[in-house]
Structure 1
Amino acid sequence: MFVRAVYVTGDPAKLEAAIRGLNSEGRELLEERPEYRGADVLVDRDLGILLAVSWWGSEGARRNSDQVMRERRGPMLEPFAGTVAVENFEAAVFRSVQLPRAGGGMRYTRVEFDPADTDLFAETFRSSAVPRLEALPGFARCAVLVDRERGRGMVGSIFVDRASMAASRAGQAEARRADAAKAHVTVVGLEEFEVVHADVRPD
C-alpha cells in the first residue's frame, strides 16, 4: 500500500472543528476515489496536533487523489490549521492483529536512514519488532512507512487503549535502541497520539 500523511498543528481549542471536517466531508471525498484503503485520524489534544493518514492500493491511486484533496484540504481544516505538512510514503510493513478503537493510542516514531538501507530497516522491523509487539497486551496494529528516495520514514504502533500504550513505554524504549542500531536508522522524533478513527483495509 501507499500512504499520504498530513501533519497539522494549530490552536487546540479549534481542533474539534477539523476532526468533524475530516470525519464527514473528508471521508466522503476519500471513499469516492479508486483504490482507497482506509484512513487514520490521530490527535494530540493538548498540543493541538492532528495527523491524518490515508492508505491507497497503488502509488498511482494516491497520486491521482492528490489534486482533489489538495484543493479541499484547506477549507476542511479551517479554522484549526496553522501549519500543514504533507508527506508520501510506501507501506513497507503492515501488521494487524485486531481492530484499533477510538480512544486508543498510537506511538509514532520518525526515522532517517541511508536510502540503501531501506530494505534492511523494513526486514529488521518485520523480524524483530513485529513478534515483540504482537506479544504486548492491547496491541492492535503496526506499520513501517518509508520514503526510499529521501531515506526517511515513520513507524506507527497502535494500541486499543492508552493504558496499554503507556505500559509498553519502558520495554519499547530498550527495543527501539537495539533495533535502530541493527537497522542503521536514526530516530529523529517520537510522539504519542489518541486514535480518533482507524479503518485501514489492506485488500
Structure 2
Amino acid sequence: MFVRTVYSTGDPSKIDSAVRALNAQGRDLLEDRPGYRGSGIFVDRTLGKLLAVSWWTTEDARRNSDEVMRERRVSMLEPFAATTLVENYEAVVFHQIRQPEARGGLRLTRLEFDPMDTDLLTETFRASVVPGLEALAGLARASLLVDRERGRGMVGALFADHASLAGSRGAHAAVRHEGAAKAHVAVTGLEEFETVFTDVRAD
C-alpha cells in the first residue's frame, strides 16, 4: 500500500475544529476516491499537533486523490493549522493484531537511512522488530513506511489504550535501539499521539 501523511501544528485550543472537519468532510472526500483503503487521525492536544494519514492501493491512486484533497485541505485545517507538511510513503510492512480504537495511542518513530539499505530495513523490521513489538501489552498495529528515494521512514506502533502506550515505553525503546543498530538507521524523532480515528483495510 501507499500512504500520504499530513502533519499540522497550531493553536491547541483550535485543534478540535480541524478534527471535526477531517472526520466529516475529509473522510467523505477520501471514501469517494478510487483505490482508497482507509485513514487515521491522531492528535497531540497538549502541544497542538495533528497527524492525518490516508492509505491507498497504488501510488497512482494516492497521487490522483491528492489533486482533489489539495484544494480542500487548507479550508478543513483552518483555523487550527499554522504549519502543514504533506509527505508520501510506501507501506512496506503492515502488521495488524487487532483493530485499533479511538482513545488509544500512537507512538511514531522517524527514521533516516541510506536508500540502498531500504530492503535491509524492511527485512530487519519483519524479522526482528515485529516480534519484539508483539510482546508489548496492548499493541494493536505496527507499520513501517519508507521513502526509498530520500532515505526516510516512519514506524507507527498503535496501542489499544493510553495505559498500554505509556507502559510500553521502556520495552519499546529496547526493541527500537536493537532494530536501528541491525538495520543501520538513525532515529531522528519520537512522538506520541492520541488516536481519534483509524480504519485501514489491508486486504
Provide the residue aligned with 1:3 in structure 2. Answer: 3
Q: Which amino acid aligns with 1:169?
A: R
Tell me how many residue pairs correspond in the alignment: 203
Is 1:171 equivalent to 2:171 in the alignment? yes
Provide the residue aligned with 2:123 in structure 1. Answer: 123
> Residue 70 of structure 1: SS of its match in structure 2?
helix
| Ranges of 4+ aligned residues in structure 1 off by more than 6 Å | none
Deviations 1:155-189 (A, max 9, x none): 00000001111111101112211110100000000
Structure 2, unmatched stretches of 5+, are none
What's the CA shift for 1:202?
A: 1.0
Deviations 1:47-92 (A, max 9, x none): 0000000000000100010111000000001100100000000001
Provide the residue aligned with 2:139 in structure 1. Answer: 139
8 A Cα contact 2:107 2:157, kept in partner: yes
Q: Which amino acid aligns with 1:176?
A: R
Provide the residue aligned with 1:112 in structure 2. Answer: 112
8 A Cα contact 2:136 2:172, kept in partner: no
Is 1:198 equivalent to 2:191 in the alignment? no
Q: Distance in 2 between matches of 1:146 and 1:60?
A: 17
Deviations 1:95-149 (A, max 9, x none): 0010101000100000000000001111111111111212222110010000000
Q: Distance in 2 between matches of 1:107 and 1:67?
A: 29
Q: Distance in 2 between matches of 1:40 and 1:127?
A: 26
8 A Cα contact 2:136 2:171, kept in partner: no
Give the TM-score of the pair, scaled to structure 1. Answer: 0.99
Structure 1, unmatched stretches of 5+, are none
Give the TM-score of the pair, scaled to structure 2. Answer: 0.99
> Residue 34 of structure 2: SS of its match in structure 1?
coil
Q: Which amino acid aligns with 2:151?
A: G
